[in-house]
């Protein structure tokens, strides 16, 4: 059952409730959501729920209807984010696990680890104990394989996962690996599940060859009841009458499972298809279907592989697949997980008056909680970093400049609304602030109301003018008589509706704003044009730029300059770029404040590496009256 606690419950009252449940034989888990805190109580014991409901501090008690309890979405509404080393799986990320089917030798695992890491995999896989259909096939290198996998993971800074086939191996494996893998053949090996669950470590749980979704979730329940809450589910194809592929990939399991459980679900197109050429299209299908990641087998000499060669991608194919996933990610509202950013642990700055110890982990954005800018923040930074919502763009820059926040995220361009000039102007003015990153977010608008309000009740619609404009077709058709009221920002419109409790009004905003405010979405995806993206810059002070960029390949630069008022002066600058093969991606001009009819230019250009730009700076300075690099970063796609 789920025990929903009152917001003002005291620690003593909470402990009392927990003790009574435990005395009655329940396992108790506390789950803190954005809004409520609940206790999940599971076990075989029978108890009249009213006994709990009347206890001080308890708001209500709700039974869990599914046979799996701890794994169920009923118990925990928010997505579970599983941490595998520094890598996170779940939420709005797409995490890619790659490596050979089996660890075969030191050389082999090191070569492949380097290749998959370079292409963008964040977790390294490789079997050391192989569950083979034939006892005469290669069975894996055992502990030697674990050692080699660990070595490759450490060398290339990747957490590692490998399959456990026997309860007796759990103890020795846990010191070598970051995540256990339970293979399809062992999904219902309950003794193994219990032993692995007891470690409390992350587990990748493959779906059994002929397991129903419910059986699969019951296996996850075993792991959770034994002591881990870090479970990632993996759809890897099921046995059907079809013989054309090794198994039949059940893509529809992804959205089904996501509805039923808060645990992340990923897909394995390698074992599902068994055929190299089918792996990449099915990987994309899994991502399109909402998977939180994929696991793929990669081998640089698949013809020599000791197992699963025919389904292993060549490193070049894997690299191409990573690029396709990257392009697809924003369409499904996700970002590909890269090796996590290191946020500097402290900022040494005596000038920052209000600098507290949290500042080094704080990211500033403009808007209220749940705004699209906050979504952009979460695409780049982990949930552990705090956010600082700011009223104006200028406040974001001030927060970063003063050290109140270590990074800021500001919109720079929307595919429908065009350039956000204010932020270019601020970038130009704030000399100590530099662009360090770029992120893209797909803008999906929803009609949001106070719980229980129906479409027919809506007489007024609040949103940012862009939100109203971008949903014009929907409003004309479904709410032609409703008054459209411009608001400061989309998420702010939602919190305003919540405060007023209006029963005759709706707001247009992103889904996080509804979730954050406990409001109801009555229509999803109401924007006229679905190809609606906003590009954001990540900004920081100079001294924190290197930390942000240390793990990514810098391939873009943003610069600003003024030119003299004479023929060909702009051409001269562009000519330098052209002559050095730099592909310009964007050119904007802005009037210079206080100098009527004179203009500043902003250019974004492709870059082979940072040194390329350094060499050109003297030439560019000579051809301009003022020149500044606003920043260098990794392009969002
Ligand atoms: C594997 O991942 O190497 C494996 C054996 O997978 P499955 O258990 O899905 O067959
Ligand atoms: Mn395999």
The model's pLDDT over 145-166, given as tens digits with 9 standing for 90+, comes to: 999 999 999 999 999 999 999 9
Residue 372 known to be catalytic: no
- CA pair distance 279, 287, nearest whole angstrom: 12
pLDDT of residue 552 exceeding 80 = no
The finding on whether 246 has its CB within 6 A of some atom of ligand 1 is no
Instruction: Report which of 485, 449, 438, 484 is spatially closest to residue 631, judged by C-alpha positions.
Output: 438
How far is it between the farthest Cα atoms of the chain?
87
Written as six digits, the tokens of 89 are: 């799986």
Ligand 1 atom at minimal distance to the Cα of residue 234? 9
Q: What is the pLDDT of residues 354-365, one digit of tens each?
A: 445 577 789 999
Tell me what the mean pLDDT of segment 136-147 comes to: 95
Tally the residues of the chain: 637
Tracing tokens 């662009």 back to the chain, one arrives at 435
**Which residue, by CA, sits nearest to atom 10 of ligand 1?**
184
Backbone φ and ψ of 322, nearest 5°? -60, -40
Q: What is the pLDDT of residues 366-376, one digit of tens each?
A: 999 999 999 99
Tell me what the mean pLDDT of segment 158-180 comes to: 97
- CA pair distance 554, 548, nearest whole angstrom: 11
Task: From the candidates 536, 561, 601, 627, give the one annotated as an active-site residue.
Answer: 536
pLDDT of residue 468 exceeding 80 = yes
Backbone φ and ψ of 221, nearest 5°? -60, -40
Tell me what the mean pLDDT of segment 526-538 comes to: 94
pLDDT of residue 37 exceeding 90 = no
| Residue 346 banded pLDDT, cuts 50, 70, 90 | very low
The finding on whether 269 has its CB within 6 A of some atom of ligand 1 is no
What is the Å distance from ligand 2's center to 396 Cα? 48
- CA pair distance 411, 393, nearest whole angstrom: 9
Q: Quote the pLDDT of residue 428.
A: 92
- CA pair distance 363, 369, nearest whole angstrom: 12
Quote the distance between the C-alpha of residue 19 and its chain's center. Answer: 37
The finding on whether 271 has its CB within 6 A of some atom of ligand 1 is yes
Q: Quote the pLDDT of residue 352.
A: 42
pLDDT of residue 58 exceeding 80 = yes
Indicate the pTM of the whole model: 0.84
> Mutation test of ligand 1: which of 126, 149, 184 has the most ligand atoms closer than 8 Å to its C-beta?
184
Ligand 1 atom at minimal distance to the Cα of residue 102? 3
Residue 82: beta bridge partners?
A: 89
What is the Å distance from ligand 2's center to 127 Cα? 8
The finding on whether 184 has its CB within 6 A of some atom of ligand 1 is yes
Instruction: Report which of 364, 420, 337, 356 is spatially closest to residue 586, judged by C-alpha positions.
Output: 420
Beta strands 599-606 and 584-591: pairing type? antiparallel
Average pLDDT along the chain? 92
The finding on whether 207 has its CB within 6 A of some atom of ligand 1 is no
What is the Å distance from ligand 1's center to 306 Cα? 14
Ligand 1 atom at minimal distance to the Cα of residue 185? 8
Residue 125: beta bridge partners?
A: 161
- CA pair distance 349, 343, nearest whole angstrom: 16
Residue 600: beta bridge partners?
A: 562, 590
The finding on whether 183 has its CB within 6 A of some atom of ligand 1 is yes
**Which residue, by CA, sits nearest to atom 4 of ligand 1?**
183
Written as six digits, the tokens of 374 are: 């906050």
Ligand 1 atom at minimal distance to the Cα of residue 127? 3
**Which residue, by CA, sits nearest to atom 9 of ligand 1?**
184
What is the Å distance from ligand 1's center to 125 Cα? 11
- CA pair distance 347, 74, nearest whole angstrom: 41
Tell me what the mean pLDDT of segment 197-202 comes to: 97
Nearest ligand to the CA atom of 132: 1
What is the Å distance from ligand 1's center to 269 Cα? 11
Residue 534 known to be catalytic: yes
Tell me what the mean pLDDT of segment 96-104 comes to: 98
Ligand 1 atom at minimal distance to the Cα of residue 131? 5
Q: What is the DSSP track for 452-508?
A: T--GGG--EEEE-HHHHHHTHHHHHHH-TTSEEEE-S-HHHHHHHHHHHT-SSEEEE
């Amino acid at each position: 059952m789920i025990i929903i606690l009152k917001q003002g419950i005291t620690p003593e009252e909470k402990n009392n409730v927990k003790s009574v449940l435990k005395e009655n034989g329940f396992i108790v888990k506390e789950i803190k959501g954005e809004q409520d805190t609940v206790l999940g109580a599971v076990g075989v014991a029978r108890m009249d729920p009213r006994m709990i409901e009347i206890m001080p501090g308890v708001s209500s008690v709700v039974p869990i209807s599914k046979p799996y309890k701890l794994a169920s979405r009923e118990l925990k509404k928010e997505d579970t984010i599983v941490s595998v080393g520094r890598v996170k799986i779940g939420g709005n990320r797409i995490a890619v696990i790659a490596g050979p089917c089996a660890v075969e030798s030191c050389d082999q695992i090191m070569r492949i680890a380097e290749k998959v890491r370079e292409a963008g995999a964040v977790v390294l896989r490789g079997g050391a104990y192989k569950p083979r259909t034939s006892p005469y096939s290669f069975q894996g290198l055992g502990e030697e394989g674990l050692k080699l996998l660990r070595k490759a993971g450490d060398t290339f800074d990747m957490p590692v996962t490998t399959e456990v086939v026997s309860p007796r191996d759990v103890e020795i494996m846990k010191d070598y690996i970051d995540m256990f893998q339970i293979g399809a053949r062992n999904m219902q090996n309950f003794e193994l599940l219990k032993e692995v669950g007891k470690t409390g470590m992350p587990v990748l749980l493959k779906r059994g060859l002929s397991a129903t979704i419910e059986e699969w979730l019951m296996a996850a329940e075993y792991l959770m009841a034994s002591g881990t809450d870090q479970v990632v589910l993996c759809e890897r194809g099921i046995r059907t009458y079809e013989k054309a592929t090794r198994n039949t990939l059940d893509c529809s399991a992804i959205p089904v499972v996501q509805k039923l459980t808060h645990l992340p679900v990923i897909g394995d197109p390698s074992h599902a298809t068994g055929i190299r050429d089918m792996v990449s299209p099915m990987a994309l299908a899994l991502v399109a279907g909402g998977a939180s990641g994929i696991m793929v087998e990669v081998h640089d000499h698949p013809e020599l592989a000791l197992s699963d060669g025919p389904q292993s991608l060549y490193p070049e194919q894997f690299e191409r697949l990573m690029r396709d996933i990257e392009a697809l990610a924003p369409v499904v509202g996700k970002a590909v997980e890269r090796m996590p950013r290191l946020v500097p642990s402290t900022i040494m700055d005596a000038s920052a008056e209000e600098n507290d110890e949290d500042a080094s982990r704080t990211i500033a954005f403009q808007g209220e909680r749940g705004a699209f800018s906050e979504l952009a923040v979460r695409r780049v930074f982990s949930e552990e970093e705090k956010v600082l919502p700011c009223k104006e763009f200028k406040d974001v820059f001030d927060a970063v400049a003063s050290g109140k926040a270590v990074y800021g995220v500001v919109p720079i361009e929307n595919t429908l609304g065009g350039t956000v000039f204010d932020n270019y102007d601020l970038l130009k003015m704030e000399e100590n602030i530099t662009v360090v990153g770029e992120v893209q977010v797909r803008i999906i608008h929803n009609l949001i109301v106070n719980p229980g309000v129906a479409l027919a009740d809506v007489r007024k619609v609040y949103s940012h003018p862009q939100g109203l404009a971008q949903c014009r077709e929907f409003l004309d058709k479904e709410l032609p008589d409703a008054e459209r009221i411009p608001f400061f920002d989309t998420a702010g419109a939602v919190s305003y509706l919540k405060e007023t409790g209006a029963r005759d009004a709706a707001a247009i905003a992103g889904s996080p704003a509804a979730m954050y405010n406990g409001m109801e979405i009555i229509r999803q995806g109401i924007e006229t044009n679905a190809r609606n993206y906003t590009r954001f810059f990540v900004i920081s002070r100079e001294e924190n730029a290197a930390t942000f960029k240390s793990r990514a390949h810098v391939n873009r630069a943003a610069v600003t300059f003024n030119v003299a008022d004479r023929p060909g002066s702009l051409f001269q600058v562009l000519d330098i770029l052209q002559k050095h093969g730099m592909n310009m991606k964007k050119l904007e001009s802005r009037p210079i404040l206080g100098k009527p009819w004179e203009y500043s230019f902003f250019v974004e250009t492709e870059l082979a590496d940072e040194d390329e730009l350094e060499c050109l700076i003297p030439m560019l300075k000579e051809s301009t009256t003022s020149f500044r690099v606003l920043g260098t970063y990794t392009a969002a796609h």
